[in-house]
Structure 1
């Protein structure tokens, strides 16, 4: 069991959730406000995506990240910033012509997924460690070994900590290979993502198997989506890891009750404390994760 728990709040994500809850933040101001509220509620880390303010669709626009991050940094609230670098990996194919991408495709190379990271230098950015059949239909998430090596090398050069996003056991195998090749600085940070079709199911046995495959000295967190999110806070802690909540992965506080990011963070804090563990502060999170201090951040 982990008794010194880092809580991450993933505040908006890239999923089709805006129309399903009035609490999903869309504009940079709203995303930043939710991140600040989650930090005040006990999240040591906030995980940030941005969205088109007009449509609510996911975006890779650097100016939207810039405004969001500036608002968080200028708030005076201490929090560890974790920016997604997974946008730009979506491929949707035509069922009749698999070589033809269709609407919904947003596929760019490894370095084109990083301009906001290069400019803003967050504490952490994500690295999605493999390709995946992403749900039903003909959508795939693409992240090849060569792409990942290129991205990992650039993130390492920037001095940003990569959070290695693991959606299935083969991805964990490859991420461990990146560690062995020296492309990931110690201590490595893994995020074990459970219940996302069609990756690793939200099953305690699968989580235990993945934890057993982690390299020595690694830090890890784990989350599950939907109704499993809050129970999985306890599951991850009992397995020795940290926890993640937030509207990216789950819209409900309880059956039929729409949540806010602040409420989900508060509930995670309660679960941590009920287990007899301590909620890590941002400074303690930086110590655990081996993060580099950044001037002006």
Structure 2
């Protein structure tokens, strides 16, 4: 059964991601200070949650360096702006294979076990951290994202031990199936927080009919956010809200405010606020987001 329109919407700002985007837009934050500044600006614009990756400050390349997470998180927490902190824990799942020798990983591979993806989560104890719910072909070529069912069960159990809410990243229907298995096994505390990631090659396409079908498969008490990439990002704010969910925008998924106009994270959040309010819904505050998602109270 379809869900009613969501009237109380949590907006997440995904600030920088892991893609090779800094060379495509001067607004993509790279250093911990830049990432924190964007987090604060996005929160002031209306984001209740900020989703944080980190990058090597000198190269802009994605990183799993705990020290970079520590610096960015501390700057955000020390600011006067209240915001829910969501750290990625999806780094360390990248496998690029050689076409002639598939057992020989090549440049671009960053593949570690479930626990080695979590040291920054264990140290910093964010409100939320992501758990990517399956393996899939990551775009054209020979790149894969690897997250086995054993890895996922181990990661979900560790999240429970730490008291960190997992945001279950779901890129296709089979991943949703397994996310529900973990939910039913008690590895995910209720209400489950699920994110339906649309339009990421080659996961679920950004199709409203498919979104409706995936929403119908969610556990009854689950909270969900959905997003889409590129030019679909801002229209997808409305799609997600109309299907009963929350919204995510940001430079991780889209670099443009409109055709040919490069965006900042704060501008994308501001536009999302306008869309949400145009639908007759309210934008949730950080404290309201904590209540909706079943998070700890602000520290």
TM-score over 0.5 for the pair: yes
How many residues align? The count is 295
**TM-score normalized by the length of structure 1:** 0.99
**Cross-structure match for 1:136:** 140
**Cross-structure match for 1:176:** 180
**Cross-structure match for 1:190:** 194
**Cross-structure match for 2:6:** 2
Secondary structure, aligned partner of 2:68: helix
One of 117, 122, 126 as aligned partner of 2:126: 122
Deviation of the 1:293 alpha carbon:
2.4
Alignment deviations for residues 270-295 of structure 1 (CA, whole Å, 9 cap, x no partner): 00011110000000000000101254
**TM-score normalized by the length of structure 2:** 0.98
**What are the ranges of 5 or more consecutive residues in structure 2 without an aligned counterpart?**
none
**Cross-structure match for 1:247:** 251
CA distance in 2, matches of 1:276, 1:183: 35
**Cross-structure match for 1:231:** 235
One of 255, 263, 269 as aligned partner of 1:265: 269
**Cross-structure match for 1:281:** 285
One of 20, 29, 35 as aligned partner of 2:39: 35
CA distance in 2, matches of 1:294, 1:240: 26
**Cross-structure match for 2:111:** 107
Secondary structure, aligned partner of 1:96: coil
**Cross-structure match for 1:93:** 97
- Give me the CA root mean square deviation: 0.5
Matched, 1:24 2:28: yes
CA distance in 2, matches of 1:206, 1:98: 33
Alignment deviations for residues 21-40 of structure 1 (CA, whole Å, 9 cap, x no partner): 00000000000000000000
**What are the ranges of 5 or more consecutive residues in structure 1 without an aligned counterpart?**
none
Secondary structure, aligned partner of 1:20: coil
Structure 2 contact 287–298 (Cα < 8 Å) conserved: no
> Counterparts of 1:54-65 in structure 2 under 5 Å?
54-65=58-69
CA distance in 1, matches of 2:8, 2:296: 20
